[in-house]
Amino acid sequence: MKIKLMPPMIFYGFILLAIILNLFLPIKKVIVQPYNYLGIVLILVGLLIDVRAWVLFRKRKTTLNPYKRPLKLVNDGLFKISRNPMYLGMDLILWGMSILLGSLITFIFPIIFIILIERLFIEFEEKNLEERFGKRYIDYKKKVRRWI
């Protein structure tokens, strides 16, 4: 059985790596208490975005799996503001973790996450959406930014 890489695998892997590196290789604390608690705000905002986007996908009865053919074009709710609110939420959580941990080394993960998600998933997903929904998706792409 072949296991395909999924965005949550990268996301949770980066959270784990950030925690491990913060514990065993804390290069330099750049954000200290109490300022690091601002990271909690970003984590909560990211969670809220992810949950709301996930609920919308469930209501529309379409797949969250980037490898499966999309059943419906979701372009309402948070998707009016960002074409990728779930990835945006995950990245906000990673930024929040970096701020909360405060270690310089952890700030690389939200940056690498965006690069990997764009290269491994978003380009592929957008191609599928264009093939499936044609002009509707192209018009949506013109109106709504990829991130914010």
The residues, any chain, with a CB within 8 Å of residue 39's CB and separated by 6 or more, are 31, 95, 96, 97, 98, 99, 100, 101
The whole-angstrom separation of Cα 58 and Cα 48 is: 15
138 assigned to some structural domain: yes
148 assigned to some structural domain: no
What domain count does the chain have?
A: 1
90 assigned to some structural domain: yes
2 assigned to some structural domain: no
Domain of 87, in residue numbers:
7-143
* pLDDT in the model for residue 1: 60
Q: Which of 7-11, 65-69, 91-95 has the lowest mean pLDDT?
A: 65-69
* pLDDT in the model for residue 27: 81
Q: Report in angstroms the alpha-carbon separations of 63 from 7, 57, 80.
A: 14, 7, 19
Domain CATH number, residue 62: 1.20.120.1630
* pLDDT in the model for residue 119: 96
Among candidate residues 6, 4, 3, 5, the one with its CA nearest the CA of residue 87 = 6
* pLDDT in the model for residue 111: 98
* pLDDT in the model for residue 14: 98
pLDDT band with cut points at 50, 70 and 90 for residue 2:
confident
Cα 106 to the chain's mean position, in Å? 16
For the cut 90, the answer to whether the pLDDT of residue 25 exceeds it is no
* pLDDT in the model for residue 78: 97
Q: What is the mean pLDDT of residues 47-76?
A: 95
Q: Which secondary structure element, helix H or strand E, spans residue 90, and what is its range?
A: helix 85-101
Higher pLDDT, 4 or 46: 46
The whole-angstrom separation of Cα 89 and Cα 101 is: 18
